[in-house]
Structure 1
Amino acid sequence: MKLKRFLLRYYPPGIILEYEKGGEVKTKSIDLLDLTPSTNVDTLVEDIRKAEPLVTASRTQQVKHLILRLQEKLGQHDSHKFYLFKVLRAHILPLTNVAFNKSGSSFITGSYDRTCKVWDTASGEELHTLEGHRNVVYAIAFNNPYGDKIATGSFDKTCKLWSSVTGKCFHTFRGHTAEIVCLSFNPQSTLVATGSMDTTAKLWDIQSGEEVVTLNGHSAEIISLSFNTTGERMITGSFDHTVSVWDVGTGRKIQTLIGHRGEISSAQFNWDCSLIATGSMDKTCMLWDAANGKCIASLTGHEDEVLDVCFDYTGQFVATASADGSARVYNATTKRCITKLEGHDGEISKICFNAQGNRILTGSADKTARLWDPNTGQCVQVLEGHTDEIFSCAFNYEGNTIITGSKDNTCRIWR
């Protein structure tokens, strides 16, 4: 094994080792999820050297330099105030979802007008209109981190794969017998997963356009799906009150997470794939051990349905958004509620951390999006101006641009 080079990953903090083995170039990552600006760098470098044979004595200064750069980035306190950069009269009918590519240079919007549009973030210009679906374009995604492909899932029961560069349609995936409401690329960008109201999920091969496998087992609509960071596992959340964990390679169901007493609204893995968080109409969020499928905590406190859940990059914090108009942040280790985010006047349907983990963004039926400090629960900014409910919002990777999508047919870029 021969080390070729180091690559730096800011969020979550880590160093990627690119090495050669048997003539093949491979990568492995040293995750530094516990790194803080006060971590003793010399001790950490020594620990890495003991654990990782590729990091030899001659490379220690290089590794130290990289860790110092990561610490510097972590120490930057974000007091960024966002301003409205552009209002895009994006579609002739309400939007369904918005999503950034990894760099944040472009983003996509899906709509009831049966199209998905690709936009340039810096100028607000429309780059492509992806036309061809015969019903609402509901679920949309880039194949991040690559960003050269887009998947669109529609109420017309099909999923389409497009070039984000040319707008050309590569494949139309047919096989579902009801609306597609969620989709995701695996991290390797070799598969697209689709979840449908027909109670099944399907995996599709990006190259050939063929169906790889159908995941059967739910007894009601699948409303949420996501891969873990390695792409070996996938979870599906359903209106049947359960979440299933699947082996992506074989299509076999490994576990069923049983415990919720209402429909599932959202299901996510944390970064190191050790935990799964699920939100439900039963007003709770549950934390599960991803290895054995056992429930390790029921996070309570909301007075109405939990509509969305998310982890920060360390996987140490879980944020929940509820129809009761509040959001909450829980410590995944202690299972305690750290802060309540209160101020919205309507249900919160979307919640996300920025990549840095020091801000939370919420989108609400009260026509506003809000930015919060997850440690204090303080609202640091209200993004106002939409004339109807916001049901989709997202940060770019750098955390300095936000997009909000609304029922008012517009999308707003905030910088």
Structure 2
Amino acid sequence: MSRSNDAGHFFQTSSALATTERKDAKAKNKHGNPIRLPSKILAVVHGGNEGAVYIAEAAGDVRRVVLETSEMKRIAPPAPAPLTSLTVSAATGTLYAGCWDKHIYNTSVDRRNPSATNIPKLVNGHTDFVKCLLATTLSGHPILLSGSADAQIIVWDLATGKPLHKLKGHTKAVQDLAIDPLSLPEGSAEPAESFVLFTASSDREIRQWHISLASAYEVSESLDKPILAHETSVYRLRFDSDGDLWTASADKTAKHLVRSRDWEADTVLQHPDFVRDVVFAEQAGLVVTACRDEEVRVWDASSGDLVCVYSGHFEEVTGLVLVGGGKRVVSVSIDCTVRQWSLEKGEMARYIEEARKEAEDGSVAGQDGAEEGKSSMLTAEEEAELAELLEED
């Protein structure tokens, strides 16, 4: 029996039809110089230099995308399931990708590094979706940290491919990992022998862990009293240079948590839907957020005032990365596009004026003839599972 993923072959409400028509129209816009890929984009990281990014796709591919030329290259054989997270180990010249199938895949991205030619596989790890990854070093030794929907955090020895430590404390999926910069040696050329890891989860808790090669454990302060800054899932943790935290949450806010005030929020950025990502452009004094409502928002970090709303994506925005020395931000979405937005005042002002004129004309933003987004490569069942994964764990 044949199957169809075409929404037009199924009963739809008037509201669903209106949403489909709106997205079909918006898909034609050229805002942010869209680079179109074959499937939904679930994660993005720097691509080895300021002119490129690595992206993870729902179709299981990892690609390197050159932003200026739109050139893209698949850098590894496709995984058998959607890839949810990426990180690059500078120590080994290796890119790691977390997957729905519970595995972590790796591929060399630095052929000049001899150690990148013989990369051990990471085995005997998680029992559910891998949600987040972070590569770093301890005592000069390359390690990888991974978080999963199984609520575990694993510290991996990248030289052997074996787990060093398995940490349990969260009760739901681990969504993000961030190293406390104030736990690292300040102004020292010596490698860190330990650090404090902050973790975010769907259980809304932010927890802290002491990590070294010899041991790993939850710090007593976190064990007794985890940080509870949000009402529900916390998706992203970003430290600033002062060691304070910017967070993104499914409670429709991004927050600035101040360390000296016991992680009290002094800035709360309200959104109409889940906030998927947040980045802090420190030199510009701006915060950028990615929202499930398809928009990329730019805020004044000091006042919390909204500076600019970049409208171009026509599906949920899933990730952000700063490029160009913090003068631009790259956004990715399940609409299968990579887009770039300026964080310079003059460019933002020009975009706001163009958007105003388009609204006055009653036209769809940028509706001047780009090809429509390509259809998903997932089955109907996988589409439903992806939607559930993006909603909640």
In the superposition, the TM-score normalised over structure 2's length comes to 0.64
Aligned residue number for residue 125 of structure 2: 175
Alignment partner, residue 337 of structure 1? 305
Alpha-carbon distance, 1:364 to partner: 5.0
Q: Distance in 2 between matches of 1:125 and 1:261?
A: 39
Aligned to 1:378, what secondary structure does the other structure show?
A: helix
8 Å CA contact 2:102–2:129 kept in 1: the answer is yes
Amino acid at match of 1:129: A
Query: What do residues 108-151 of structure 1 show as CA deviations (whole Å, max 9, x unaligned)?
Result: 443344443567888947474245x543332222224x571111
Greater relative contact order (Cα < 8 A, sep 6+): 2
Q: How many residues are treated as equivalent by the alignment?
A: 303
- SS in structure 2 opposite 1:173? coil
**CA separation in 1, counterparts of 2:285 and 2:168?**
32
Q: How does 1:2-401 map to 2 (within 5 A)?
A: 94-104=40-50, 108-117=54-63, 124=71, 126=73, 128-130=75-77, 133-144=79-90, 148-164=93-109, 165=111, 169-186=119-136, 190-229=142-181, 230=184, 232-249=195-212, 250-254=215-219, 255=222, 256-270=226-240, 272=241, 274-290=243-259, 293-314=262-283, 316-332=285-301, 334-344=302-312, 346=314, 347-363=316-332, 369-373=339-343, 375=345, 377-378=348-349, 380=351, 385=370, 387-388=372-373
Shift of 1:258: 0.4
Match of residue 399 from structure 1: none
AA matched with 1:259: A
1:14 is aligned to none
Amino acid of the structure 1 residue aligned with 2:147: G
Aligned mates of 2:335, 2:77 — CA distance in 1: 30
Distance 1:291 1:350, change over 3 A: same
CA contact (8 A) 1:224 1:237 kept: yes
| CA displacement 1:65-85 (0-9 Å, x = unmatched) | xxxxxxxxxxxxxxxx9978x
Aligned match of 1:402? none
Q: Percent identity?
A: 17
Structure 2 stretches of 5 or more lacking a match?
1-30, 185-191, 355-364, 376-385, 387-393
Partners in 1 of 2:97 and 2:291 — Cα distance? 27
Q: Is the 8 A contact 1:199 1:218 kept in 2?
A: yes
The alpha carbon displacement at 1:194 in A equals 0.8
CA distance in 2, matches of 1:189, 1:335: 41
What per-residue deviation string (whole Å, max 9, x for no partner) do you get for residues 171-208 of structure 1? 22322110102111126671111110001111111112
Structure 1: gaps spanning 5 or more residues: 1-80, 391-406, 408-415
Instruction: Tell me, in whole angstroms, the C-alpha distance in 2 between the residues paired with 1:349 and 1:127.
Output: 20
Distance 1:136 1:169 in 2: 22
Relative to structure 1, the CA distance from residue 365 to residue 103 in structure 2 (aligned partners, 3 Å threshold; closer, same or farther) is closer
- Aligned AA for 1:176? H
Q: Which has the larger strand fraction?
A: 1
Cα 1:379/1:228, change in 2 over 3 Å: farther
Aligned equivalents of 2:323 and 2:54: distance in 1?
A: 18
Amino acid corresponding to residue 253 of structure 1 in structure 2: E
Q: AA paired with 2:304?
A: R
Give me the whole-angstrom Cα distance separating, in 2, the residues matched to 1:353 and 1:110. Answer: 17
Report what 1:393 is aligned to.
none
Q: Does the aligned pair in 2 maintain the 1:339–1:374 contact within 8 Å? A: no
Q: CA deviation at 1:168?
A: 5.6
* Cα RMSD (Å): 3.8
Q: Check the 8 A contact 2:253/2:271 in 1, yes or no.
A: yes
Q: 1:295 to 1:134 in 2, by over 3 A?
A: same
- Aligned 8 A contact 1:223 1:238 in 2: yes
Q: Which amino acid in structure 2 is aligned with residue 360 of structure 1?
A: V
Q: Secondary structure at the match of 2:120?
A: strand
- Counterpart contact for 2:40–2:336, Cα < 8 Å: no
CA gap of 1:339–1:112, structure 2 versus 1, over 3 A, is closer
1:339 CA displacement: 1.1
Cα deviation 1:27-52 (Å, max 9, x = unaligned): xxxxxxxxxxxxxxxxxxxxxxxxxx
Distance 1:105 1:326 in 2: 23
Q: CA separation in 1, counterparts of 2:297 and 2:70? A: 35
Provide TM-score, normalisation by structure 1.
0.61
Offset, 1:345: 6.5
1:368-393 per-position Cα deviation (integer Å, ceiling 9, x unaligned): 63513354643659999463399xxx
Residue type of the alignment partner of 1:247:
H
| Higher alpha-carbon deviation: 368-377 or 256-265 | 368-377
User: C-alpha distance in 2, partners of 1:175/1:319?
Assistant: 34
**Per-residue deviation at 1:95?**
4.4
Deviates more, 1:259-268 or 1:298-307: 298-307
Q: In the alignment, is the contact (CA less than 8 A) between 2:40 and 2:335 conserved in 1?
A: no
